[in-house]
Structure 1
């Protein structure tokens, strides 16, 4: 998607003391460790999902980690008081990115393939910490969009929202490097078309993840552009702080939206479904 030499040249332009910590192989090539860890963790969770289906008394991992808007509603609190069952579980907005469809292993395969293809490039450009931040925020943003746009009793699984956030980050990085982003744009359009054409796909999560990816990658790319011409160490530190402040602001907005969305699902909607 991006010119490898362009990304490496960009890394060389950053002062050594300001470069994100990286693991390297014996040849000195950067190892995108965060990308590999996310892929490995997701695959392990998928294995646990299958274990829950074939091993007696093993927990149903899919049911424990998937997300439904009802899990983050005020109505869930009221329902818990009536039944005594803990239904309000906001952490599912993130854990749902770890579980995938049991009926179609292709769901996991495609998400992990895209993550492997583009995650390594984004991590090399942004560094592991900012890459992971954008990935998590995009997963969260996808769940927030599901909360607002999907049926209260719908259930979603998969890392697609986070992956669409990486699509957005890749597009932003391409623009920052002056690369030809037409191929990335076409890829995004095709994937969005599939989201609306085929049933059983959460276009809401895809849209939310993509918009969040745009918002989260904006302060990172703007900071990189500001420092491209060279800056003092103090300016670099201040810019880095502002970058993380921008990422934190995106997180605060998502939390606020999740809170508002929780108020929009009433008790009758919960009990009715």
Structure 2
């Protein structure tokens, strides 16, 4: 008979996992598929096989040489802080609110989405209707708010919707989505009202993010129930409160959904081209709406 194989002693207590090479305090059971170093979820970069560490992605971790920069599913660059642009936008909105509400209310009028064709019964075109020199209002009005409650609700919504989209799209694509949604909302309001409008707020951009979230859920094949319920709830409020500019909300919602569809469904082989054309197309539609409406008012 053969002697029994000696039994290896088993460690007592829980097994101690190694710490991430960048965050030693975080235990992990996953290692880089190129260099083998332990990496935590924050440092994992998806690869064709397993995960790579940031050093290997940058070409610093193995002898395999430089690798192509890692990308998110929709082409963005993965970053440590997936909500940086969201935070900057919130800070910018709050800064403009303080400026226009407490420092100089005249700036609120100067930056608002203001347009009209008569003043005191006298035919005169002012604001956006006055011509291209006033078209800046289409953009600046996105950052102006009418009171603390208005800015609070929009910023809470931005904080809820923004980080998720920013992480999957990347910073530049997320910023483009936010801005074109806000621009499209104001341009649509300008057209539908016949050129006479006074409107402020980031609601058009927020509705654009809401439309983009619905597209993201669809792209991920996630249940649409929660996001559709949120959308319906917001639309009910939009059409129930007379002080809310429903035109900006609808314009932003449509623009956000269209832009997100182009960003998220672009074929990988032509991703940058399709995504760039999508954003350019929405911006072109904004310029066309404003130019045509202004020309009609002038004629």
Fold-level match, TM-score > 0.5?
A: yes
The aligned counterpart of 2:198 is: 155
Q: 1:159 to 1:38 in 2, by over 3 A?
A: same
Residue correspondence of structure 1 range 3-18 to structure 2 within 5 A: 12=46, 16-18=69-71
Contact 1:23 1:32 in 2 (8 A): no
Q: 1:201 to 1:128 in 2, by over 3 A?
A: same
Give the Cα–Cα distance (whole angstroms) in 2 for the partners of residues 32 and 164 of structure 1.
Answer: 18
Contact 2:158 2:206 in 1 (8 A): yes
TM-score scaled by length of structure 1? 0.76
Higher RCO (C-alpha under 8 Å, 6+ residues apart)? 1
The aligned counterpart of 2:254 is: 211
Write the deviation string for residues 60-88 of structure 1: whole angstroms up to 9, x where unpaired. Answer: 221111012339xx9449x97xxxxx994
Give the Cα–Cα distance (whole angstroms) in 2 for the partners of residues 43 and 222 of structure 1.
Answer: 33
- Which segments of 5 or more consecutive residues in structure 2 lack a partner in the other structure? 1-41, 49-67, 118-123
Report the 3-state secondary structure (helix = DSSP H, G, I; strand = E; otherwise coil) of the residue aligned with 1:96. Answer: helix
Write the deviation string for residues 95-123 of structure 1: whole angstroms up to 9, x where unpaired. Answer: 00111003xx1110110001001100000
Of the three residues 137, 144, 151, the one matched with 1:99 is 144
The aligned counterpart of 2:293 is: 261
Contact 1:70 1:265 in 2 (8 A): no
Aligned residues: 228
Q: 1:91 to 1:13 in 2, by over 3 A?
A: farther
The aligned counterpart of 1:89 is: 134
The aligned counterpart of 1:49 is: 100
Give the Cα–Cα distance (whole angstroms) in 1 for the partners of residues 47 and 263 of structure 2.
Answer: 16
Q: 1:18 to 1:202 in 2, by over 3 A?
A: same
Contact 1:69 1:151 in 2 (8 A): no
Shift of 1:150: 2.1
State yes or no: 1:69 paired with 2:69: no
Contact 1:23 1:33 in 2 (8 A): no
Which has more radius of gyration? 2
Give the Cα–Cα distance (whole angstroms) in 1 for the partners of residues 115 and 231 of structure 2.
Answer: 26
TM-score scaled by length of structure 2? 0.69
Shift of 1:13: 6.3
Give the Cα–Cα distance (whole angstroms) in 1 for the partners of residues 126 and 110 of structure 2.
Answer: 16
Shift of 1:22: 4.5
- Larger strand proportion, structure 1 or 2? 2
Residue correspondence of structure 1 range 172-187 to structure 2 within 5 A: 172-187=215-230
Report the 3-state secondary structure (helix = DSSP H, G, I; strand = E; otherwise coil) of the residue aligned with 1:184. Answer: helix
Give the Cα–Cα distance (whole angstroms) in 2 for the partners of residues 211 and 153 of structure 1.
Answer: 22
Report the 3-state secondary structure (helix = DSSP H, G, I; strand = E; otherwise coil) of the residue aligned with 1:18. Answer: coil
State yes or no: 1:39 paired with 2:90: yes
Shift of 1:194: 0.7
Contact 1:69 1:146 in 2 (8 A): no
Contact 1:143 1:208 in 2 (8 A): yes
Shift of 1:181: 1.3
Q: 1:200 to 1:61 in 2, by over 3 A?
A: same
| Greater Cα offset, 131-140 or 214-223 | 214-223
